[in-house]
Amino acid sequence: MNRVLTLVQPRQLEWRDEALPKLEATQVRVKTLFSGISSGTELTQYRGTNPLLSKRFDLETRLGVFGRIGTIALNVVHDANIRLGARSALDSVGRRGIRVEGNQHELHPPRGAHRLVKLMRAVMDAVAPGTVLVTETNVPHKDNIAYFGNVLKDGGTDEAQMVYQFPLPPLVLHTFRTADSTALLNWLRALEPRDSGTAFFNFLASHDGIGVVPATGLVSSDDVMALAAQVERHGGRVNERDTPSGQRPYELCTTLFDALSDPNSAELEAVKIKRFLAANAILLALQGVPGVYVHSLFGSPNDTAALDASGINRRLNRHKFTHAELEAMLFDPTSRASRVFAGMDAMLRARRAHDAFSPSAPQRLLETSSGIVAFERGDDGNVVRCFVNVSTEPQPVSSLRGRDLITGLEVTQDTLEPYEVLWLED
């Protein structure tokens, strides 16, 4: 029998016995301290330490005994194309005490997942042509892009049309923390060109935290720790995961606005808003399809009241507006929400109006100082040059000439002011 721990209602856990499923020929059974927690809950051991699942449970009171690590082993079956063989530890999983009989373990994704995505794509193409299949797989880049599938002879692919770009949020946050675009541009330079019909789904914020695991290998572990420290200084929280070398950040629970700027600093609000809009200008100009989280339209601060009431870190970034609250902010031209919304609206309108920002339009990086993110979009004389100053200092740029699509003004300058954004059309 298998002992299963279930969250039956907020702050109440329940045990039940379940028969173990029969193993197929390609399956092994993995024993771990905590496993099989339903995805989508906020009590998942491998999404970070929490006050319940990292402690020993008293089965009578159903309460965690603090200061003592639990030792109850739960069984889970992973169909992950494991070839039976040498005994090995799956340290990369980030869960405690896992041992599995296997060799050549392809942790993510199992072949069955790709078969399922191919089937979903075939069904969608048959019954709802034009439907776009998007995969949200928070895994290393090479595993992520595998969900595009195989290239077909007549163009396109046989799996998802879009995949989430999970490295982008931590890389952009790192870029503004350090005022250095090197890591972001190195990553962009290495991205594979996408065929027509497929695209990356770019985003900077979502209802979850900012995942930092996808930044592994793109920035140093010290840089990741520095991001986590900055978020905590700004009032956010950090969910952690277990690794062989101890606990490490998994996701940064914060709004994007407060991740970028310290809400308790004496820095001018206008500077914080410019920084926030500059970060989003990168998102909106990059090759691919941008996704804008609702709170990025208003520059929302961390919802500390929701965190205090729930104890759930992710609630910091999930404030629920009332109609009256939102209306009052947007109709006040001096409010942050109104000013951020106006800036986002201007960029979204400029993007929508120009073919150079088509998801598959070419993208070429431009050589500038490390304090600038600069690239071209488009081709055949239909080109937009995008410049974003990611620092608090003016940055020299030669020959900034053309019409800025965001403001509609003609530009002739050789310096990019702090957090200035220009989308220039010749």
Segment 117-134, tens digit of pLDDT: 898 899 888 988 889 999
Task: Judge contact between 236 and 253, C-beta under 8 A.
Answer: yes
State the average pLDDT over residues 12-18: 67
Quote the pLDDT of residue 47.
37
Query: What is the pLDDT confidence band of residue 143, given thresholds at 50, 70 and 90?
Result: confident
Residue environment code for 229-246, b if the CB has 16+ CB neighbours within 10 A, otherwise e:
ebbeebbbbbbbbbeeee
Domain extent listing, the chain: 2-103, 165-361
Quote the pLDDT of residue 141.
78
Quote the pLDDT of residue 107.
39
When mean pLDDT is compared across 73-82, 313-322, 332-341, 392-401, the lowest value belongs to 73-82
Tell me the percentage of the chain whose pLDDT exceeds 90.
58
Q: How far apart are CA 211 and CA 225, in angstroms?
A: 13
Q: How far apart are CA 397 and CA 373, in angstroms?
A: 11
Q: How far apart are CA 418 and CA 394, in angstroms?
A: 5
Q: pLDDT tens across 147-173, in order?
A: 999 888 877 889 999 999 999 999 999
Quote the pLDDT of residue 194.
79
* Residue 293, pLDDT above cutoff 90: yes
Quote the pLDDT of residue 151.
87
Task: Judge contact between 283 and 204, C-beta under 8 A.
Answer: yes
Task: Judge contact between 277 and 340, C-beta under 8 A.
Answer: yes
406 or 85, which is more confident?
406
Query: What is the pLDDT confidence band of residue 15, given thresholds at 50, 70 and 90?
Result: low
- Which CATH class for the 165-361 domain? alpha beta
Q: How far apart are CA 84 and CA 298, in angstroms?
A: 53
Q: pLDDT tens across 190-235, in order?
A: 998 877 789 999 999 999 889 998 898 999 999 999 999 999 999 9
139 or 50, which is more confident?
139
